[in-house]
Amino acid sequence: MTALLGGAVAGACYRSVRTVRQVRSLVPLHEAPPSSVIPAVVTVVVPARNESAVLDDCLRGIRSQTYGDGDASALRVVLVDDGSTDGTGDIARTHAAVDDRVRVVRVDGPPPGWAGKVHAMHVGVEAAGPPGAGEWLLFVDADTVLAPDLLSRLLATADAVDADLVSTPGGPPADRSAAWPLLMPPGLQMIGENAAPDGRGSKAFAIGHCILLRRSHYEKVGGWSSLAALRNEDIAIATSVRDHGGVTRMVDGLDHVTTTGMDPFSQGWASFRKSFVAGTRQSVPVLLGGGLGQIALSLAAPAALAVGARRRRPLLAALGALGWMAQGVAHAHTARYMRAEPKLAPLAPFTGALFGGVLLDGAVRVLRGTVSWKGRRSRS
C-alpha cells in the first residue's frame, strides 16, 4: 500500500508541476497600437440557441467594439439563430434593425451528421460571403460579453506572437457561483493534460467562449465542415489549425471577457460534463477511468500524509505533505488565471476529487442515454 500511495503522490506532483508550467505559457493580452493602416475585416459569428436571457448583453458588447476607429466596414456580425424557441431571434433582429453591421440568419437545427453549434458557426461564416484579404473570424458564445477594446487587443496579441488562432476564456461575472473556485482549477488542469496552451501538445488548447482565427487558415483546414460531427469543436479547430502549419496560443483576456455560462453551479457542472463527454466521444470506459483516476490521484497526498502519520512513517508523511502542497500551488495558479479564489488552494485535493465526479456523472448519463446538448438529447 505504501508503494501504491507513493506512486500516486508522485503522479499528482508531476501533474501539478506540468499545470504550473502550462499556466505560465499563457500569453498576456497586449495593448492595441494606434491605428495607422486600413483595418482588416473581422467577421464575428455568434451561434445562439435559446439565449434570450443573455444575448442582448452579448450583442451590445460586440457592437461597442472600438476596433476600426469608427470604420463600419471593419466589423460585421452574423448572429445565427439555431432553432430557438424563445425570444432569441427577436432580440437579434432588434439589434440588426439599428445596426447595419448585424445580420441575423435562422436555421432550424443541424442536418444529419452535424453537431448543432458547429453547423450554426458554419452557416454564420457562409452567410458572411467569400473570404476577404486579411480577414479574421471571431467566434463568440452568446453567453459571453466583450469589453470594448477586446477585439483590438486580441488582434494586437495575435500579431505580437505571430499566431493564426488565439483564444481566451471568459472571466466570472460579479455574482459568480461556486463553480469558479471549485471546478475551474481542476477542470483546467484536466483539459490541459491533453491540450497545450502553446499548441505543442497532442492537441492544441482553445476555449469556445472567444476564438479569433485568420480566415485564410479557416479555409485551409476545410472550415467547420471538416469537423462537422464534433462537439469539442474549440480544441478540434485549434488542433486542426496547428496540424496544418498554423500557430495557436491561449491568451489571458479574462479581464476583458465575461461569461455567465458557468453559473449557477449546476450549469457549470453541466458545462464541464458536456465538454468531457464530447472530448471522450461518449466513451464510458474513458469517462469512468478518468473519473476514478482523478479521484485517486487527487486524494493520494492526504491519504499518504494520514497513513504516514498513523503508522509513524515520516518519509511517507513528508511525501504526502509535499504532494498536497504541490496540488495547492497548481490550484492557486489556475485559480488566478480564471479569476477564481486562490485562497481555496489548501483544498486542492478535495476539489480535484469533486471534479472526478463530473466525469463519473458523464459516464452515468451516457449509459442512461440522457446526454443533452443545448436542449438536444443525444443517445449513445
Query: Which residues on neighbouring strands pair with residue 196, listed in sequence order?
Result: 204
Strands 210-214, 165-167: pairing is: antiparallel
Looking at residue 379, its pLDDT comes to: 42
Output the nine-digit C-alpha cell for 149. Answer: 477594446
Nearest in space to 188 (alpha carbons), one of 168, 174, 166: 168
pLDDT band at 371 (very low <50, low <70, confident <90, very high): confident
> Is the per-residue pLDDT at 197 higher than 80?
yes
Query: What DSSP element (H or E) covers 75?
Result: strand 75-82
Instruction: Write out pLDDT tens, residues 227-244.
Output: 999 989 999 999 999 999
User: pTM value?
Assistant: 0.94
Q: In this structure, are strands 371-373 and 376-378 parallel, antiparallel, or unpaired?
A: antiparallel
Q: What is the mean pLDDT of residues 97-125?
A: 96
370: confidence class by pLDDT, cuts 50, 70, 90: confident
Q: Write out pLDDT tens, residues 260-280.
A: 999 999 999 999 999 999 999
Q: Which of 76-80, 100-104, 109-113 has the lowest mean pLDDT?
A: 109-113
Task: Reply yes or no on whether the pLDDT at 5 is more than 90.
Answer: no
Percent of the chain whose predicted confidence (pLDDT) is above 70: 97
Contacts of 46 (CB under 8 A, 6+ apart): 55, 58, 59, 62, 77, 78, 79, 80, 124, 139, 140, 141, 142
Q: Is the pLDDT at 380 greater than 50, yes or no? A: no
* 35 band by pLDDT with thresholds 50, 70 and 90: low
376 contacts 116 by C-beta, under 8 angstroms: yes
Q: Report the mean per-residue pLDDT for the chain.
A: 94
Written as one string, the DSSP assignment of 165-220 is EEE-PPBPPTT--THHHHHHHHHHHHHHTTEETTS-SSEE---TTEEEEEHHHHHH
